[in-house]
Amino acid sequence: MHKTNLAENIYYLGVNDRRTHLFENLWPLPYGVTYNSYLIVDEKVCLIDTVDRKFTDDYFQQLDNILGDRKVDYVVINHVEPDHSGSLAALRSKYPDITLVGNKKTFPMIQNFYGITEDTITVSDGDELDLGKHKLNFYTIPMVHWPESMVTFESTQNILFSNDAFGSFGTLDGGIFDDEINLSFYEEEAMRYFTNIVGKYCPHTQRALIKLEGLEIKMIAPSHGPIWRSHIPYILEKYQKWSSYAADKGVVIIVGSMYGNTEKMADVIARQLALRGIKNIRIYDPSKTHVSHIISDVFKYKGVMVGSCAYNNEMFPTVENALNELLHKGIKDRVLGVFGSYSWNGGGVKNLEKFSEQIKWEIVNPSVEEKGALKKDKFTEAVALANAMADKLEEDC
């Protein structure tokens, strides 16, 4: 079994999960996910987080391979969510004298999940845990993305154990460090991870980045995905961009269509956008594409256009579901266009306009609504809607 060192006597203990279909029973994992834990062997032995309980046996095998008969003295709990703390009860059974390290919001959750109340150390911002040669300092980053979330900084090697921050979907298929992998793949999965798991809490992420900017970080070891050692400015810049709602020039078109009429309007709009020089255009049917991919691209691009047919006097259900997720995420500073069609009674566009009032994005042009198949006058209005979006993007991007 390979031993992977982050530095002398600091080890990566991680497992690949290629079998779980939905992260948090919600977000698709087409490329799997990792659960990362870390081990520091010193005068005192310390674990940073654990792994999902499905992998406890493999996790303990890795521990035994490194430690032999030595015991673990501390486990730092950066985050109580069970994909990080799931092996904690078994760890307590394996090492009955182990001490749990967390902040004041950690231990009520630990009691609720695992019934553990004894042998704990409560730390606050900047507190230090001395392991011998290695020193650990702790910094809370509340709501990135749970209230008890914190990070651990190993100050002799300048390693930030960053919890869910700077993490990614996707298994580690051989390469564990950022300079051992193709970053273009992980950028997409890191962005989908951020936008769907952390993205609701962008203001909190901004505050966390400010809190941590005084640290001289030479390595970032997150709880999911690759370890960052050669491209730290790259991932820090991505988090700064994503959490500030900065966007690229492009348009996401979300369309719900039963018989193709609204979809045809989307194609007309997309073609006109392309004629106007917009190269980043994504058309998504939320009946087919999971909303996690749509959310990720709405974070990425400045323009959003939503089209819906009428369905029982409402917008199309899968469009409504997607828009509810966008409202929940609270994405700011986008520009919006609305279109749709109906057969015998409206409801699609009317409810899209209600969404536009709730989301508070700038509207680029009046809505376009057709009855039945697309006709010449509404074709012209759809083109005008696309032109208005292109004009706005030229102005803002």
- 71/64 Cα distance (integer angstroms): 9
pLDDT band at residue 178, thresholds of 50, 70 and 90? Answer: very high
Q: Which whole number is the average pLDDT over 98-121?
A: 97
pLDDT band at residue 185, thresholds of 50, 70 and 90? Answer: confident
Which parts of 33-173 fold into alpha helices (H)?
56-67, 82-85, 88-94, 106-114
pLDDT band at residue 130, thresholds of 50, 70 and 90? Answer: very high
- 43/319 Cα distance (integer angstroms): 57
- Strand (E) or helix (H) holding 381: helix 376-396
Strand partners, 130: 135
Nearest to 262 by CA among 189, 369, 155, 156: 369
pLDDT digits (tens, 9 = 90+) for 134-173: 999 999 999 999 999 999 999 999 999 999 999 999 999 9
Main-chain dihedrals φ then ψ at residue 217, nearest 5 degrees: -90, 125
Share of residues in the chain with pLDDT > 90 (%): 96
pLDDT at 181 over 70: yes
**What pLDDT is stored for residue 346 in this prediction?**
87
DSSP state letters, 196-228: IIIGGGHHHHHHHHHHHTTS--SEEEESSSPBB
Mean of all residue pLDDT scores within the chain: 96
Buried b or exposed e, range 233-256, using 16+ CB within 10 angstroms: eebbebbeebbeeebebbbbbbbb
Distance of CA 152 to the CA centre of its chain: 20
pLDDT at 358 over 90: yes
Domains of the chain: 4-243 (3.60.15.10), 248-396 (3.40.50.360)
Q: Would you say the C-alpha torsion 302, 308, 313, 318 has a positive or negative sign? A: negative
pLDDT digits (tens, 9 = 90+) for 237-252: 999 999 999 999 999 9
**What pLDDT is stored for residue 153 in this prediction?**
98
**What pLDDT is stored for residue 1 in this prediction?**
61
Q: Which whole number is the average pLDDT over 179-196?
A: 93
Q: Which whole number is the average pLDDT over 349-355?
A: 96
pLDDT at 82 over 70: yes
**What pLDDT is stored for residue 397 in this prediction?**
87
The model's pTM is 0.94
- 83/25 Cα distance (integer angstroms): 12
Q: Which whole number is the average pLDDT over 256-260?
A: 95
**What pLDDT is stored for residue 202 in this prediction?**
97
**What pLDDT is stored for residue 2 in this prediction?**
78
Q: Which whole number is the average pLDDT over 57-82?
A: 97
- Bond before 134 cis per omega within 30 degrees: no
> CA dist 54 to 50, 91, 226, Å?
11, 13, 21
**What pLDDT is stored for residue 268 in this prediction?**
98
pLDDT digits (tens, 9 = 90+) for 326-343: 999 999 999 999 999 999
